[in-house]
A and B are shown apart, each in its own frame.
Chain A
Amino acid sequence: MANEPLIPSVRDIAKNAETLSPIDLKRIVPLPPPYDKDDPAEMWKEISAEKRSQIDASLDGVSALALKRPTGPAEEKRLLDGLKAGLAKLLSSDDNWTFRQQLELTLDHCTHCQTCAEACPIFVESGHNEVYRPSYRADVLRGLLARYGPGGNPIKAALQGSPELNWNTFARLAELAYRCTLCRRCCQACPIGVDNGLITHELRKLYSQELGIAAREAHTDGSVLQLKVGSSTGMSPAVVKDNIEFIDEEMSEKVGFTVKTPWDVEGADVLLMHNAGEIMAWPENPGAFAVIMQQAGISWTLSSEMVAYDAINYGLWYDDVQFARVALRHAEIAKKLKVKKIIIGECGHAHKALSVVADRILLGEANVPRESFAPFLASIVDSGVLKLDPSRNDFPVTLHDPCNIARAMGIVEPPRRILHKIAPRFREMTPHGVDNYCCGGGSGFAIMSGNNFANWRTLVSGRIKMKQILDAFAGELDPSIPKYLCTPCSNCKGQFRDLIRAYNAFERSKIQYGGLVELIVNAMADVKPGFLEWEFH
């Protein structure tokens, strides 16, 4: 139940209110026709009063973490004390050497000019919900540090407008750390270089590393499972090999020649690492990779070692220690296989994790060079080794730039080079490249759907992307024209699957989504026509 609209200040985060800043569905970004007639209220789900008595949804009526209320004063004190201890650790050169410099620079220098605000898709999409303002959560953290952090005192707290630390603040701040996709558009816009996305990252770390509070999908069902059984999908080495064998058979049938994925080839030129979610949800993606590798004559392999057959590294979003554990395993296995390089498949966060953030912790021989699938495939396409028939892709195509590949790594041109060769009706979204909007599923959101979080993802965090897609296909939205949203990232794909389903955009406009490799294979002249299937899944 929504209460009276209120424009909360930073101090208000501590206030007793059933919902501090509810989602106002009347104010969310409008979509073009015919989607303008849809009633967002029909796509929304309130958390029941009974559920709300068990878990906290007092920030905006949404729950990403299903945070349980403390069982009593002792439990509450433990949590609040933990948060205070975590504040000090964020500023410690021992506990947070990994990000301390960036964090302190950001904490110390925001002038509250609000130049970043309109760059934030979530703030804009929500119709300017005040708690989604990029500087809001940063100011809550600054306020807590000024009052309870190292060197905190009443003068600093007064100057900063610090909130009180109570259960309301604790719970809402934890949720607030999951209302930002870490897309860092705000940081691009900031004239000073203050990084509100980083604040989200550090807050998530504080809750996870000090208190063990994180999104279940990212931690227990994510990085923990990956380290325990080999993959967050739950696939063991034996199962993954079985599944790939099955995919090979399927592919062979589809393309008209035998496709065989090599495993554990020592000294191969390329170790290909997929997000294992692809194997389960979009098997045509690893299948298409295998077809291209084989037809291009690449010396390549997959690894069946635990952790290495899943390129994901969810720690990137919430926990430096889990992050390091997975990254080190990935690199060690590549070193053991003595491959010349790792090619990271179509998974954005895996790109950033292993190529950028882990770069400086990979020591000695474990520093195996990592390359993105995009330039690698572009060089194969450029070489002419694949016979391509672009007329097979004669339908409208647009490209979503995954934030972690474009904004975090500067890989912009290679996927376009490929698309210009294989998709005659390719058109850009606006904006695109490093200025793109996040799909709305970034930083783990695409795998999080508990309570009403999936509704929030489709109505709030992904809405501007939906608008971009519809605008890119303007004039061709009729379902008689098949359209392809090329999205070379597993997490983005998960989000697009949910977006297209929620807006019924496959039935209404025949918008299909998929990776880049599928589109390449669909254009290969020696492959049976019709590789792409126009069925929604």
Chain B
Amino acid sequence: MGFVAIWAYVTLAVFVVGCLYKAIKYATMPMHLRWELYPVAHEKGKVEYGGSYFEEVDWWTKPREVSKLGEFKTIAEEVLTLKQVHERNPGLWLPSLMFHYGLYVLFTLGVLLVVGAVPGVRGLPGLARLGGGRVLMALAAFGLTLATLGCVGLLARRLSRADLRRSSTPADFLHLWMLLAVFLASWASFFWADRHLAVAASFVQGLVTFRPVAGLPGWFGAEVVLLGIFLAYLPWSHMTHFFAKYFTWHSVRWDDAPNMFGKTYEQRVKKLLMRPISWSAPHIKGDGRKTWADVATKGGDS
């Protein structure tokens, strides 16, 4: 098996495992105290002005109406239009939009290549191959154009806008330079090695069927190596926001489910209150043996 294929397997594995590790880490963290922030997208009939069930007299006696559609609409609007950036940070909006749409298109292309590589699958991937791969070629060119222009735009903004430059970390720049390197290698491969994505398709097919192809063109190899570095790095960066948003919105900002008498929260909280505490300030004196229940029910008055 050639180096490029091994590299692809290893980096993809790091990407998948890294993302899963992080998602599982967030999902299995202890239940937190409520910290919702309004507007809460699922508040039926009230979301327009940010209202909540707390506006009702004796709210605990009334049925709670949670609109999943409301949540979906808010998330879809944010993902598809980058609403907040558009309204509050307009200078960044266009490059950011191009960049994100570019990635969506390239992701779709990747999915088509993988699905098309599965033995016996026809349909959409087959359609994409019609015309000697022209659909794939168009997707690649379109996605790469958007992503590259967006990436350059974001870099230019970050370098030229004093507030952005000042508040950026070295990692923020690294991400953009890494991505730019991936896009440039992809362009080189597109122009000089694989205009119709035949190499990409056979490479992906090789990976999927565990019969990796050998003798890949140099630019294509460079593209895979750089993409691999980026993918393996991604889970350890803030770029996991593509899935973390589910948690920040759904599990924090919108988590307004009340602790109704005797419901499931009680058991979970009872266990959490038995956890040890080791904060050492004089009004707590946690020693790692005392529990939260111990310290919460006495002291604090000196």
| A contact set with B: CB distance below 8 Å | 7, 9-10, 82, 85-86, 89, 92-95, 97-102, 104-106, 108-119, 128, 130, 133, 135-136, 139, 142, 158-161, 184, 187-195, 198, 208-212, 219, 223-224, 227-228, 319-322, 324-326, 328, 341, 355-364, 367, 369, 371-372, 374-376, 378-379, 406-414, 433-435
A-chain residues with CB within 8 Å of residue B85 when the two chains form the complex: 113, 115, 191
What's the Cα separation between A254 and B85 when bound, in Å?
A: 54
Once A114-B164, A212-B282 are accepted as A-B contacts, the answer to whether A100 and B29 lie under 8 Å apart by CB is: yes
Contact B278 A359 (CB under 8 A): no
Contact sample, A vs B, 11 pairs, CB 8 Å cutoff: A93-B29, A115-B85, A187-B253, A322-B283, A325-B295, A328-B296, A356-B36, A361-B296, A378-B57, A412-B50, A413-B51
Cβ–Cβ contact B283 & A375, under 8 A: no
A99 touches B284 (CB 8 A): no
Contact: B50 with A410, CB < 8 Å? yes
**8 Å CB contacts to A: which residues of B252-290?**
252-253, 256, 258-259, 261-262, 265-266, 269-270, 272-273, 275-284, 286
Across the interface, do A112 and B240 meet the contact criterion of CB distance under 8 Å? Answer: no
Q: How far is the CA of A112 from the CA of B241 in the complex (A)?
A: 12
Given known A362-B259, A410-B54, contact A325–B299 (CB-CB < 8 A):
yes
Give Cα distance in the complex from A211 to B244, angstroms: 32
Asked if A363 meets B269 with Cβ closer than 8 Å, knowing A191-B82, A212-B283, the reply is yes
Given contacts A93-B275, A115-B92, A160 and B55 within 8 Å (CB-CB): no
**Given A82-B280, A109-B238: A228 and B302 within 8 A (CB)?**
yes
Residues of B contacting A128 in the complex (Cβ-Cβ under 8 angstroms)? 163
- Residue of A111, A209, A326, A435 with most chain B CB atoms under a 10 A cut-off: A111
A83 to B171, CA, bound (A): 25
Q: Which of B39-47, B130-138, B179-187, B223-231 contacts A (4 or more CB under 8 A)?
A: B39-47
Q: Quick one: CB contact mask for B214-242 with A, threshold 8 Å, 1 for yes? A: 00000000000000000000000010110
Most buried by A among B54, B247, B258, B278: B54
How far in angstroms is the closest Cβ of chain A from B90? 10
Partner of B277, one of A94, A100, A374, A406: A94
For chain B, the count of residues having a C-beta within 8 Å of the partner chain is 91
Residue contact B240 to A109, C-beta cutoff 8 Å: yes
Nearest chain B residue, comparing its CB with the CB of A97: B30
Cβ of A412: which chain B residues have Cβ within 8 Å of it?
38, 49-51, 55
Nearest B-chain residue to A355, judged by Cβ: B54
Q: Does the CB pair B300–A224 fall under 8 Å? A: yes
* A-side contacts of B43, CB under 8 Å: 410
- With beta carbons under 8 angstroms apart, the residue of B25, B50, B92, B298 that contacts A433 is B50
Residue contact B300 to A227, C-beta cutoff 8 Å: yes
Q: Are B29 and A104 in contact, with the CB atoms below 8 A?
A: yes
The reply to whether B57 and A379 form a contact with Cβ atoms under 8 Å apart is yes
Most-contacted residue by chain B among A112, A227, A325, A375 (CB, 10 A) = A112
- Complex-state Cα separation, A188 to B37, whole angstroms: 7
- CB-based contact A360/B35 at 8 Å: no
* Nearest CB on A from B296, distance (A): 4
Bound-state CA distance A371–B58 (Å) is 7
Which residues of B sit under 8 angstroms from A97, Cβ to Cβ?
Answer: 29-32, 272, 275, 292
Q: Are A193 and B88 in contact (CB under 8 A)?
A: no
A105-B26, A110-B238 known; A375-B300 Cβ under 8 A: no
B33 at interface by CB-CB < 8 Å: yes
Contact across chains for B296 and A139 when beta carbons are under 8 A apart: no
CB neighbours (8 Å) of A375 from chain B are 54-57, 59
A-side contacts of B82, CB under 8 Å: 191
| B262 surroundings in chain A (CB, below 8 A) | 364
Closest B residue to A208 by CB, please name it.
B281
Shortest Cβ gap from A440 to chain B (Å):
20
The answer to whether A161 touches B279, judged by C-beta atoms less than 8 angstroms apart, is no
Structural contact, B50 and A406, CB atoms closer than 8 A: yes
The residue in B34, B56, B164 that gathers the most chain A C-beta atoms within 10 A of its C-beta is B34
Is A194's CB under 8 angstroms from B172's CB? no
Chain A contacts of B295 at CB under 8 A?
Answer: 321, 324-325
A112 and B57 in contact, given A99-B33, A101-B30, A193-B253 (Cβ under 8 angstroms)? no
Contacts of A320 in B (CB 8 A): 33
Known: A101-B252, A209-B279. A9 touches B55 (CB 8 A): no
Given known A159-B169, A184-B37, A433-B49, contact A411–B55 (CB-CB < 8 A): yes
Residue of B nearest to A103 (CB): B32
Residue in A224, A228, A367, A371 whose beta carbon sits within 8 Å of that of B261 in the complex:
A367
Chain A contacts of B174 at CB under 8 A?
159
Chain B residue nearest in CB terms to A197:
B37
B96 touches A113 (CB 8 A): yes
A112/B172 in contact, CB under 8 A: yes
- Contact across chains for A410 and B300 when beta carbons are under 8 A apart: no
Q: From residue B51, how far is it (CB to closest CB) to chain A in Å?
A: 5
Residue interface bits B13-29, CB-to-A below 8 A is 1, else 0: 00000000010011001
Q: Shortest CB–CB separation between residue A230 and chain B, in angstroms? A: 10
Q: Judging by beta carbons under 8 Å apart, are A211 and B261 in contact? A: no
Task: Tell me whether B296 and A198 are in contact (CB under 8 A).
Answer: no
The 7 closest A-B pairs by CB, nearest first: A410-B52, A193-B248, A434-B50, A97-B30, A324-B296, A227-B301, A228-B301
State in angstroms the CA–CA spacing of A103 and B16 once bound together.
24
Docked pose: A435 CA to B87 CA in angstroms: 14
